[in-house]
Amino acid sequence: MIIILLSILFSCSSETEIPGYQFDNFQNTPVWDLAKAVKENNVRKMKQIHESNLTNIDYKDPFYQKTLLALAIVNKKDMAFLELLKLGSNPNEIIGKKNEATPLLCALDFQENCNLFYIDALLKYGADPNLKIEHKDQDILFEGGIPLFHAIGKTDNNGGDCINVIDLLLKKGAKIDTCYNNPITQRCESIITKCLETDSMELLKYFIIEKKIEIPNIVYSTGGININTMKTYSLVEILNTEDFNYENYPTAKKAKDDILDYLKNDK
């Protein structure tokens, strides 16, 4: 009885506090009943509502412009999430007030301990692992919503890089040579740069040694936003700087040393 009660209490309090991903955002909308069923993880009720009302399964809340599929992901409503996909919810729907996300990006950004459940299901239902989106705010630095970039920097409970997530995206067709145009550096920044920015050395080793990714001549810049005062680095140069010594982080240091040894022997 105590276990059941605790389970009920946890279920009732599990909704995220992130404003854009709360089910109450759908109050007074045509899909409010459906939203409540998703929140309750009530698959049977979801089917009944959708079939009887022919509701728009990808209806976006009026203020935050998020879909119920995105809310199911962020709020960990597993059964409702799968049912929404079965009912035809679009895994490539561009969401957010400024077109800044998709359900797949939500799954990548909010995954915990490198969990593949939501990511794998979305890819099976047709999520595009190479989908680029254009942010409405052109004054910010935006990586184009590229799934691989969102996966880099995520770690498991022990601090290890989520290589399994990257591996799944690549197996589903994600392009390893993808890049985004950086208006500050005036370069198309690769995933190598993203690994460096997030200190993802194990993942960088995976890309370079296992996947044989092409390494640009310039991978890193410092010196602010003025291109005339920027200092640029090759991969070997930046890994040999003090910023990447990792003396107190043996796993990262070993990965970095393995990369440098590989590059030295590969010449």
65-81 tens-digit pLDDT: 999 999 999 999 999 99
List every span in the chain annotated with CATH 1.25.40.20. 10-127
CA distance between the termini of the chain: 66
Res 7: pLDDT:
33
Radius of gyration of the chain (CA): 21
Q: Are 120 and 108 in contact (CB under 8 A)?
A: no
Q: CATH 2.60.40.10: does it fit domain 10-127?
A: no
| pLDDT mean over 209-238 | 89
Q: Quickly state the pLDDT bin for 181 (edges 50, 70, 90).
A: confident
Res 228: pLDDT:
73
Q: 252: part of which helix (H) or strand (E)? A: helix 250-265
Q: Quickly state the pLDDT bin for 108 (edges 50, 70, 90).
A: very high
Res 142: pLDDT:
60
pLDDT mean across residues, the chain: 89
Q: Using a cut of 0.85, tell me whether the model's pTM lies above it.
A: yes
Q: 222: part of which helix (H) or strand (E)? A: strand 220-222
